[in-house]
Amino acid sequence: MKPKLIIILFAIGGLINSPQIYAQQYNQELIDSLIKNSTQTQVAKASKFLISGFTTFNGKFSNNQSTFSDVGFTPILLWKPHEKILVEVEMETAIMGNATNIELGYADASFFVNKYLTIRAGKFLAPFGIFQDRLHPSWINKLPTVPLANGEDELAFGPVSEIGFDFRGGAQIGASKINYSFFVSNNAALITDPAIPSKQGTLSYGNVDVQSKKLSYGGRVGLLPIENSSLEIGFSYRYGNVGDTSYNYKSVKAAMYAVDFSYINPIDIIKGTLDIKAQWNKANIDNASYLDPGDPTGSTWYTFDNKRTSFFSQAAYRPTMSQSKFLKKTELVFRYAGFNPPTGAKDLQEIRQYTYGINYWFNWRTAFKAAYQSEKNNNAIFIQIAVGF
């Protein structure tokens, strides 16, 4: 009798208490769920942004100059407000002399229209060759210096960025792939100022104040014929007016061409990864008359056949299959680059440049680089610490 009574009492107690227990469990689950949802919402809202980028510290040592220079910090803001929209903004911050220089590298919005088409609008990296579009960040560039005429110095003649619309995408064709990027953009501006003679007849890009009836256009097509995407060959073209509306220059046009080559693959027989990159550029700019910088009266004009070419070819080897942890992180690089100026241009001469480098990768995006660069009467050692983030 007693055991039955105890069981009945327990059962009654259980029935009386169970709603409270269930209620507590239910409430706890509800609270947990609300906290989780709230946290997820907050995280989702906050995580639409990502700050990426890279920072760089350089040193240059030659017979005439020893300096730590070009300290740069380049944050890239990525914002994805919608699954089909991406906004990207790069701010280039660097110390120039004793001042800090801030420049808008690019600022564009991309709309992923479908599998094969993405439309970009704004200021974007020029799809001309591969160096500016893909390889220029210091944590990607294999050497502490940029190839001749591919940077933004007085020899540069290729586009760095464009302002306008860009239509791009990639597709698979059998085991091969193809990618494309076609743009319409503001015209480049012909530099005529005699203050820097070597810049006369070159172009500046990414201008918003260019005045001309027609826009420039161009693009790049890349072919990846091998199924493992290790090989890519690209062809680029750009055409447009470059002169301003003044009588002397209003009909001046420029046509530019580039061919690029990229091959990278781990290869067993050399126990490492071979990375080859090359690019050849050509600019044909209509002949125009420029003020002779050698004439102090400013009344003498001169002209030249404004066709110039440049190229670089680079090979890097990293023993990624080595047993040694140190060797795995070490990379050897060689680059051969050249610049052929227009015949008759002021203060320009043919240049051949040889750069021998060694890199040590602390991790996938942090490297210490050292290189010896040889040019006629201009040899120097460069070091660089590059950190991507």
* DSSP code string of 39-87: HHHHHHHHTTEEEEEEEEEEEEE-SS-EEEEEEEEEEEEEEEEETTEEE
Residues 167 and 185: their CA atoms lie apart, in Å, by 12
The tokens for 289 are 């008359």
Provide the minimum distance between the beta carbon of 382 and another protein in the complex, in angstroms, as a whole number.
Answer: 20
Q: How far is the CB of 65 from another protein (least distance, A)?
A: 30
Using rule CB under 8 A, residue 261 touches another protein: yes
Q: Which of 227, 295, 305, 347 binds another protein (CB under 8 A)?
A: 227
Q: Restricting to residues 90-109, name those near another protein by CB under 8 A.
A: none
Q: State the minimum distance, in angstroms, from the CB of residue 361 to another protein.
A: 7
Dihedral over Cα of 117, 122, 127, 133: its sign: negative
Structure tokens, 25? 């469990």
In angstroms, rounded to a whole number, what is the distance separating the alpha carbons of residues 162 and 208? 10
**Residue from 59, 151, 169, 194 in contact with another protein (CB under 8 A):** 169
Q: Which two tokens stand for residue 184?
A: 């319409």
Q: Is 271 in the site for another protein (CB under 8 A)?
A: no
Question: Which span sits near another protein by CB under 8 A: 89-97, 164-172, 193-201, 235-243?
Answer: 164-172
The nearer residue to another protein, 37 or 172, going by C-beta atoms, is 172
134 binds another protein (CB under 8 A): yes
Q: Which is nearer to another protein, 46 or 102 (CB)?
A: 46
The residue whose two tokens read 């602390």 is 362
Nearer to another protein, 326 or 364 (CB): 364
The stretch near another protein (CB under 8 A) out of 24-32, 96-104, 222-230, 295-303 is: 222-230
Does 228 engage in binding with another protein (CB under 8 A)?
yes
Report if residue 326 touches another protein, rule: CB under 8 A: no
**Nearest residue (CB) to another protein, 86 versus 327:** 86
Q: Give 124's contacts (C-beta < 8 A, 6+ positions apart).
A: 106, 108, 161, 162, 166, 183
Residue 161 touches another protein, criterion: CB under 8 A: no
CB 267 → another protein: shortest distance, Å? 5
**What are the residues whose beta carbons fall under 8 Å from the beta carbon of 287, sequence distance 6 or more?**
303, 304, 305, 306
322 binds another protein (CB under 8 A): no
274 interacts with another protein by CB under 8 A? yes
CA-to-CA distance for 237 and 253, rounded, in angstroms? 13
Residue from 25, 37, 229, 378 in contact with another protein (CB under 8 A): 229
Least distance to another protein from the beta carbon of 165, Å? 14
**Tokens describing residue 9:** 């009492």
CA–CA dist 359, 331 (Å, integer) = 5
The answer to whether residue 263 forms part of the interface with another protein (CB under 8 A) is: yes
Which residues have CB under 8 Å from 103's CB, separation 6+? 91, 92, 93, 94
∠ Cα 58 61 66 (to 5°): 90
Classify 131 as helix, strand or coil. Answer: helix
Binding residue for another protein, selected from 174, 247, 296, 377, defined by CB under 8 A? 174
Binding site residues, another protein, CB under 8 A: 43-44, 47-48, 50, 52, 78-80, 86, 88, 110, 112, 115, 118, 120, 133-135, 139-140, 168-172, 174-175, 177, 179-181, 222, 226-232, 261-269, 273-274, 276, 278, 311, 313, 338, 361, 364-365, 388
